[in-house]
Amino acid sequence: MFGAASEFMAYEGFQLLTYDYDDIENPQKTLPRAVLTAIVVVIIVYILVALGTTMLIGADQVVQHQEVALAIAGQQALGTVGLVIATIAAAFSTGSAINSTLFAKARLSSTVAEDGELPAALSHRNKRGVPDRSVIALGAAAALLAAIGTLDMLVEAASLAFLFTFAVVCGLAFHQRAGMRAVTGFGAIAAALAAVALIVRLIQTDPPALLVLGFLVLIAVFGRPVLMRHVRKVEPGD
């Protein structure tokens, strides 16, 4: 995919590493190096893939066939074999992205539940330490959204959610003087401006995606407190 939203999504996964902060050896040193190195590598690979695809099939074909441009490029380079390879690679890439996001967010949900901000059931971990109930719950919710929404809608809504999250986190870091304030302040402002720009674009091109995200926000803001009053929470000392 070569759309603006999908390009952003190509870089959103790095924050997932922070959810495993406690399991990383010497995280204060390892995490910044790993994230920055990975971002640079992804930028280089992304540029090379974009240039290679454009050289093989032309910019007009990339624009007309955004979702399958890589598959067409593979076919152009190696015929049917190239098409099959590109398709299989895309499937594995998508599966990897889904799994990493699902399991990282499940761990985050389990941690939040342990803090009493989500139902206690989501804090459950199996014998291997995997937050199994969180994985199942998030997987079911993701499957439902995938069934009722289009790919473009899900990507754009997710992009807006990530931008909002980044803006809030950077804003909190700036307020609490965590890290370099110039960096956190710039991050908060840039993410907020990007979120506003995406909202304007969604209003003009895809209002349903904005409505879906707004509905989910309402559930999180108003539905969660109601739910928490009727379910068991993890209490200190449990």
pLDDT at 151: 65
Report how far apart, in Å, the C-alpha atoms of 223 and of each of 2, 156, 216 are.
36, 23, 9
Per-10-residue mean pLDDT of the chain, 238 residues long, equals 48 71 80 85 86 85 78 84 86 79 84 86 87 90 78 73 86 88 91 89 81 81 82 68
pLDDT at 193: 93
pLDDT at 136: 92
**Burial, 51: exposed, middle or buried (Cβ in 10 Å; 0-12, 13-18, 19+)?**
exposed
